Structure 1
Amino acid sequence: MLLLIFCLFIAIIVIQFFYYVIVFGKFSFAKPQNETPKKIPISVIVCAKNEEENVQNFIPLLAEQNYPHFEIVLIDDASSDGTLDIFEAFEKQYSNIKLVKVENNEAFWGSKKFALTLGIKAAKYEYLLFTDADCYPTSKDWITKMSSQFTQQKNIILGYGAYEKIAGSFLNKLIRFETLLSATQMFAWAKFGKPYTGVGRNMAYKREEFFKTNGFIDHMKIRSGDDDLFINQAADKSNTTICYLPDSFTYSKPKTSFKEWFIQKRRHVSTAGHYKGFDKTQLGLFYISQLFFLILPIILLVFQYQWIVVVSLIGFRYLFTWITMGFAAGKLKEKDVIYWFPIIEMVLIFNQLNVFISNTFKKPVHWK
C-alpha cells in the first residue's frame, strides 16, 4: 500500500510540473508584451445594480480616459438605490455617455445577462470593452492598452482584473493570491491555444463574436457566467489573445470578511460546472493534484517511507511552483503575496474543498 501511495505521489509531482512549468510557464516566462496602439472606436460597457457609491467614484475615471474615440454605455439594471439618478447626472455631464435603463422583466428577473444584452445592442461601436461598476482602471490609458491587442484575427481580449491591497490583512493576501493564480491559469491556457474563461472586470471583444454565439442564449437560465461562460463558448486559439500591460489592469475593492469572500467563491465555482468537457477536466485534475500533494506526503512521512526522496520531491515541487508563480506575480504586480505562498496555498486548497461540499448541498445566490 505504501509503495502504491509513493508511486501516486510521484505521479502527482509530474502532473504539477506539467501544469506549473509547461502550461503556466507559457505566461509566467513570456517576454514583455508588445503593443500596437489603435484608433478604433470603442464602446465601454458598465452594468450596475445598486452601486451608487461605486459609480459615483469610478465613472468619472472612465469618462476621462485618454482615447480619441469612445463612448460609455451605462446600464442601470433596475436599481432600487440612487444608481439611476447618478447615471442620469453623468449622462448630462459627459457627451460620450449613453444610458440604458432596464426594468424588471418577469422572464429575465434579476438577470445581468439580459441587461448586458440590451447594453451591447445599444452600443454605437463594434469594439466593446467591459468592466464592472465596482472597478476602476489603473491609468487614463486603460482603453489604449486593451484595444492595442485587437488585430484582424484577434477579436477577444482577456485582461487582468486585480483587487486593491489592504495592509496587514491576511484575507486580502489570500484573495489576491487566488486572483493571481486564476489569472495565471486563464492567460496561460489562452496562450496554450485553449482559452476557457475571462473576467467581466476587464475584457473586450468585437460585437460580431457576441452574435456568432447568439449572445448568452445558451446559458441565459444560468444566473452567473456573463463573462466566463461566454468566453468558454466563444473563445478559441484563433480569435483570442491576452493583455497584461500594466496600464491595462483594473482594480476592485476586495471583500473584507471571509464569509463574504466564501459566498463569492461559491458563485464562481458553481459556474465552472457548465464549462466544456476539456476545461472541466483540466481544472479538476489541477485541483485534485493540489489536494493530493498535501495529503499523500503526510501519510508517507508518518510511516517514514522513502522519507528522503519524499522530502526532496516536496522541495522540488515548491521550487518550481514558487519560481513560476513568482514570475507571474512580477508581471501582474502582485509580488508581495508570493512570500506567503505555502501558507496561502494550503488555505486555498482546503477552502476549495469546502466550497465544493457546500455547493453540492445548496446552490449559491447570484447577482443582486
Structure 2
Amino acid sequence: MLILILYFFIAIVAIQLAYYLGVFGKFAFAKAQKITPKRIPISVIVCAKNEEENVAKFIPLLAEQNYPDFEIVLIDDASSDSTLEIFEAFEKQYSNIRLVKVQNNEAFWGNKKYALTLGIKAAKKEYLLFTDADCYPTSKEWITAMSSQFTMQKTIVLGYGGYEKIANSFLNKLIRFETVLTAVQYFSWAKIGHPYMGVGRNMAYKKEEFFKVNGFINHIQVRSGDDDLFINEAARGKNTTISFTPESFTYSKPKTTYKDWLTQKRRHVATASHYKKFDQFQLGTFYCSQFLFLLLPILLLSFQFQWILVLSLIATRYLFAWIVIGFSAGKLKENDLKYWFPVVELLLILIQINIFIKNIFSKPVNWK
C-alpha cells in the first residue's frame, strides 16, 4: 500500500510541476509588455449599487484619465443610498459622463447583469472598459495601457485587479496572494490560447463580442459571473489577450474580516461550477493535486517510508513553485508576497477545502 501511495505522490508532484512550469510559467517568464498608445474610442463602464463613499472618491480618478477619446457610463442599479445623487452631480460636472438609471425589474430583481446590459447598450463607443465602483486605477494612463492591447484580432483584454496593502495584516496577505494566484492562472491560460475567466475589476472588450453571445442571457439565472462567466463563454485564443503593465492595474479595498472574505470567495467558487467542462476539469485537477500534495507525504512520512525521496520531491516542487510565484508576484507588483508563499499557500488550500464543503450544503450570497 505504501509503495502505491508513493507512486501516486510522484504523479501528484509531476502534475504540480506541469501546472507551475508548463502553464503558469507562460506568464511568470513572459517578456515585459510595451504600451503603444492608440486612439480607440473607449466607454468606461461602472455599475454601482449603494456605493456612495466609493463613487464619490473614485469616479474623479476615472474622469481625469489622460486619454483623447473616452466616455464614462455610470450605472446606478436602484441604489437606496446617495449613489444616484452623486452620479447626477458628476454628470453635470463632467461632459463625458453618461448616466444610466436602473429601476428594479421584477424579472431581474437585484441582478447586476441586467443593469450592466442596460449600460452596455447605452455606451456610445465601440470598445468597452470595465471596472467596479470600489476600484481605482493606479495611474492616469490606465485607459491608454488597457486599450493599447487591442488589435484587429484581439478584441478582449484581461487586466489585473489587485487589492490595497494593509500593514501588519495577515488576512490582507492571504487575500492578495489568492488574487495573485488567480491572476497567474487566467493570464497563463490566456497566453496558452485557452482563456477561461477575467475579473470585472479590470477587463475590456469590443461591444460586438457582447452581442455575439447574446450578452449574459445564457447564464442570466446565475446572479454572479458578469465577468468570469461572460469571458468563459466569449473568449477564445484568437480574440483574447492580456495586459499586465503596472499602468494598467486597478486596486480596490480588500475585506477586513475573515467572514466577509470567505463569503466573497464562496460566491466565486460557486460561479466556477458553471464554467465549461474543460475549465472545471483543469481547475479541479490543480486544486485537488494541491490538497493531495499536502496529504500524501504526511502518510508516507508518518511511516518513515522512503523519507529521503519524499522530502526531495517536496523540496523540488516547492522550489519551482516558489520561483514561478516569485516572478509572477514581481510582475504584478506584489513582491512582498513571495516571502510568505509556503505559509499562505498552505492556509489557502485548507480554506478552499472548507469553502467547497460549505457550498455543498448552502448557497452563497450574491449581488447586493
| TM-score normalised by L of structure 1 | 1.00
Aligned counterparts of 1:40 and 1:197: Cα–Cα separation in 2: 24
Aligned counterparts of 1:258 and 1:365: Cα–Cα separation in 2: 15
- Does 1:219 find its partner at 2:219? yes
Aligned counterparts of 1:327 and 1:53: Cα–Cα separation in 2: 35
1:364 corresponds to which residue? 364
1:144-163 equivalence runs, <5 A: 144-163=144-163
Where 1:365 maps in the other structure, the secondary structure is coil
1:63 corresponds to which residue? 63
1:307 corresponds to which residue? 307
1:322 corresponds to which residue? 322
1:254 corresponds to which residue? 254
- Counterpart of 1:341, as a letter, is F
Aligned counterparts of 2:22 and 2:326: Cα–Cα separation in 1: 15
Aligned counterparts of 2:40 and 2:16: Cα–Cα separation in 1: 42
2:114 corresponds to which residue? 114
1:197-236 equivalence runs, <5 A: 197-236=197-236
2:340 corresponds to which residue? 340
Q: Report the number of matched residues.
A: 368
- What are structure 1's unaligned runs of at least 5 residues? none
- Counterpart of 1:57, as a letter, is K
2:240 corresponds to which residue? 240
1:267 corresponds to which residue? 267
Residue by residue over 1:221-240, the C-alpha shift from the partner in whole angstroms, topping out at 9 and shown as x without a partner, is 10000000000000000000
Aligned counterparts of 1:176 and 1:122: Cα–Cα separation in 2: 34
User: Alpha-carbon deviation of 1:35?
Assistant: 2.6
1:349 corresponds to which residue? 349
1:96 corresponds to which residue? 96
Aligned counterparts of 1:78 and 1:138: Cα–Cα separation in 2: 29
- Counterpart of 1:91, as a letter, is E
Where 1:184 maps in the other structure, the secondary structure is helix
- What are structure 2's unaligned runs of at least 5 residues? none
Aligned counterparts of 1:342 and 1:205: Cα–Cα separation in 2: 36
User: Alpha-carbon deviation of 1:70?
Assistant: 0.3
2:194 corresponds to which residue? 194
Aligned counterparts of 1:111 and 1:178: Cα–Cα separation in 2: 26
Residue by residue over 1:218-264, the C-alpha shift from the partner in whole angstroms, topping out at 9 and shown as x without a partner, is 00010000000000000000000000010000000000000000000
User: Alpha-carbon deviation of 1:338?
Assistant: 1.1
User: Alpha-carbon deviation of 1:34?
Assistant: 2.4
2:298 corresponds to which residue? 298
Where 1:101 maps in the other structure, the secondary structure is strand
Where 1:283 maps in the other structure, the secondary structure is helix
Aligned counterparts of 1:307 and 1:158: Cα–Cα separation in 2: 43
- Counterpart of 2:137, as a letter, is P
